[in-house]
Structures are given as structure tokens and as C-alpha cells.
Amino acid sequence: MLEKKIEIKGINPAELFGVNNKKLKHIKSFFPKLKIVARGNILTVAGEEEVMTVFEQKMDLIQPHFHKYNELTENHIDNLMMAEGSSLVAGENGSEILVHGSHGAKIKAQTVNQRKLVDLVNKNDMVFAVGPAGTGKTYTAVAMAVRALKAKEVKRIILTRPAVEAGENLGFLPGDLKEKLDPYLMPLYDALRDMIPAEKLADMIEFGIIEIAPLAFMRGRTLDKAFVILDEAQNTTTMQMKMFLTRMGRSAKFIVTGDMSQVDLPRKQKSGLAFALDALKEVEGVGIIRMGQSDVMRHSLVKKMIVAMEELEEKQKNENNSEKK
């Protein structure tokens, strides 16, 4: 068994490892075979050489990450521990500020795949971002749209969702049509409020610079010089997806986001998102990014729940296949 000492340079160990070493304990959870003890700015690590080498490599990612962002959350640790973690701290292009938030926050792509999404949008006019809840698909897309509007690359932002009932009955909701539909569009409002001051956002919506509307309202239109985001696209039908994609006018950017594990369509109806991904995968100018558990930036429990549910779904699928045989 080898023993090594790793010095933490230029960082307050209390900030890096958290109150009562909470963050250090989270790091330790990835290396159960190592004995890791912190004393001041020195980490004493004991264990097998191969595992210690991996630990040193990960610490070589964690420290530069903290130097750059002055922050280290459990989600950051999870991302840095994954195989592609090195690309989280490599290069400046991926860490560019997308937009300054309404309270002065610097909004950036936080994970490998969020940065790939940014790169794809820069290179393509049509991009599909697919993945589970909490991976930042919609939030990153909205940030890109706000940036494009501020840079005068487009004249307006159009955000849309299919108004599909997910266990709720739309007809029995109170209010007029707008009040009935607003709950379906609330995640888009939430993202915008993070990036644009409330009064300015209200004015932009009033004057049509930013439009938030159900997918049905897109029919018959040509969307020119616009940044258009279709959210929750897994709940479109094939006909709705065809209708939406053919709305694309000149100088337009389209981003389509969705989560194929949350389809609320009738059981026998094929998702328009699944159809489009299959049909357009070889089309030049169309970018596709598939995000995963490592991109989840919500509460750490979200990632664990996604893993648990995916494992159960896979188990049930295998059991069903066995029964059919």
C-alpha cells in the first residue's frame, strides 16, 4: 500500500472541502478503496497505486475548476469524476459567458454536453437536444436565444411547447385561453426571468420581441430572423413536428429539446421527436446532442433518481422480452 501527500495550493481548504468536509466526503465516495485524510492544506492518501493515480488526476481537475469558478458543488464533483471530466476545465471557449443574468449572475454552460450544445448551435441552424430532466437543455437554449437577441443576430425570440395534458385536464383549468395555457409554458418564463429584468421582459413580450405560445399557434407562419425553441418536443405528433420544422425562415435558428422518457402522447401514437431524430440524423446542417445523467445540474437526488428509474425500466423491459420468448 502506497501513501502520498497532495498539497492544496492557493485555495482555502475549508472552501474547497466544505463545512465539516462535506464536499471531501463526496469526493471520497468515488474512491472507497482509498484512505483519504485532510490536515490543513495537505491531503494524505493511502491505497493501491492504480487507484491513487486516478485520484490524483481528478484532484488535478478539481483544483483548476475551483480556481476558475470559485465554486465547487456536488454536481460539479460528479461531472469532474466522469470520464470526460478533463474537458470541463480545458479551453476557454467552453466557459464563455452566454449572457449576464437579471441579477448580475454570469450564465455559462456548466457541463461537457451543455458546452457541446453551445458549439452545435454556433455551427448549425437546426439543433436537437435530447436528454432527461435537469440537464439544462431548455435553460442553455434560452440563454443562447437571449444572447443572439442582445447581439442583434435575430430580431425576436419565439418559445413554444405542445399543450399536451400530462394527467391534467386542460378544459377544467380556470381562466381564459392564455390563463389555461400559461402553466404549460411556465418553465420558459422561469428561464427568461433569470436572464432579463422583469419590467424589460414584460415590455419585450408586450411588443412581440419575445413570444411564448403553444405549438398550435405556429401553424401557417414563416419564422424569419428569429431564434425559435421548441421545448418538450417528445409530446409532438409526427404531423406537428413536420409543421414546426417547415416554419423555418431565412436567418433563423431552431432548437428542439425533449426527453424521450417523458412522452405523454397516447400509447399508440409515435412521438414526432423520435421521428425527426431518425429522419434527420444524416442531414447536413442539423446538429444532434444527447445529454445524460452527468449533465443533471439540479439537486443531487435528481441524478440518483434518474439512474434508479432507468435501471428499473431496463429490468422490466428485459423481463417482458423474456416472457414473450
The grid cell for 133 is 430532466
Helix axes 198-206, 177-195, angle to 10 degrees: 130
CA distances from 85 to 76, 112, 135, 234 (A): 10, 8, 16, 29
Tell me, rounded to whole angstroms, the distance of Cα 217 from its chain centroid. Answer: 26
Tell me, rounded to whole angstroms, the distance of Cα 161 from its chain centroid. Answer: 17
Predicted pLDDT of residue 123: 92
Predicted pLDDT of residue 239: 93
Predicted pLDDT of residue 287: 95
Strands 126-130, 253-258: pairing is: parallel
- Per-residue confidence in pLDDT tens, the chain, 325 aa: 788 898 888 888 888 888 888 889 988 888 888 999 988 889 999 998 888 888 888 888 888 888 877 788 877 787 777 644 444 444 434 457 788 777 677 787 777 788 889 999 999 999 999 998 888 899 999 999 999 999 999 999 999 988 764 444 445 445 555 565 666 678 788 888 889 988 899 999 999 999 988 888 898 899 999 999 999 999 999 999 999 999 999 889 999 999 998 888 888 889 999 999 999 999 999 999 998 766 666 666 766 787 788 788 888 888 887 776 6
Predicted pLDDT of residue 248: 94
Check if the beta carbon of residue 132 is closer than 8 Å to that of residue 112. Answer: no
Beta bridge partners of 254: 126, 228
The grid cell for 163 is 399543450
Sole residue written with cell 421582459: 201
Helix axes 74-81, 300-324, angle to 10 degrees: 50
Check if the beta carbon of residue 120 is closer than 8 Å to that of residue 287. Answer: yes
